Amino acid sequence: MKKVEAIIRPEKLGDVKDALDRLGILGLNFVEVRGRGRQRGQTYWRGAASYMADTLPKVKLEVVVRDDDVERVVDAIIKAAWTGDVGDGKIFVLPVEEVIRVRTGERGDDAI
Ligand SMILES: Nc1ncnc2c1ncn2[C@@H]1O[C@H](COP(=O)(O)OP(=O)(O)OP(=O)(O)O)[C@@H](O)[C@H]1O
Ligand SMILES: [Mg+2]
């Protein structure tokens, strides 16, 4: 199992959730964050008219998925979150050791 952690533009959250829904990916959570990437939070990396902010609002989406679903999920997030401009976001894939459904005690893939 893997946790797919995607930092995306807040306005893309709806599209990304819809895309995951179409894949049958149901469980997820997200949190509003502030962050910065290579442009250090500047809106326009070319410069002149940019306002200087340290960080920009983003959404961090977390989805734990079966190993077999990782590539489909990552592809779907990229397609739904992409604009082509700087600041489109970043996706991290982390190993997950165990998942336990509280109600039933199921573990592993079955608990996802
Ligand atoms: N190395 C990182 N570690 C943790 N979070 C990151 C990292 N890089 C980016 N982020 C998060 O992702 C958000 C979007 O990053 P962003 O898309 O600007 O990345 P980038 O590397 O600057 O790529 P681009 O040049 O396309 O803008 C950041 O605001 C921050 O929240
Ligand atoms: Mg950037």
Residues above pLDDT 70, as percent of the chain: 89
Q: Report which ligand 1 atom has the smallest distance to the Cα of 37.
A: 22
Q: Identify the architecture of domain 2-111 in CATH.
A: 2-Layer Sandwich (3.30)
Is the CB of 6 inside a 6 Å radius of any atom of ligand 1? no
What was the pLDDT predicted at 87? Answer: 94
SS3 24: coil
CA distance linking residue 77 with residue 44, whole number of Å: 23
Could you give the angle at the alpha carbon of 45 between the alpha carbons of 44 and 47, nearest 5°?
80
Could you read off the pLDDT of 29-72 as tens digits, one per residue?
999 999 999 887 766 555 554 555 688 999 999 999 999 999 99
What was the pLDDT predicted at 55? Answer: 87
Could you read off the pLDDT of 66-97 as tens digits, one per residue?
999 999 999 999 999 999 999 999 999 999 99
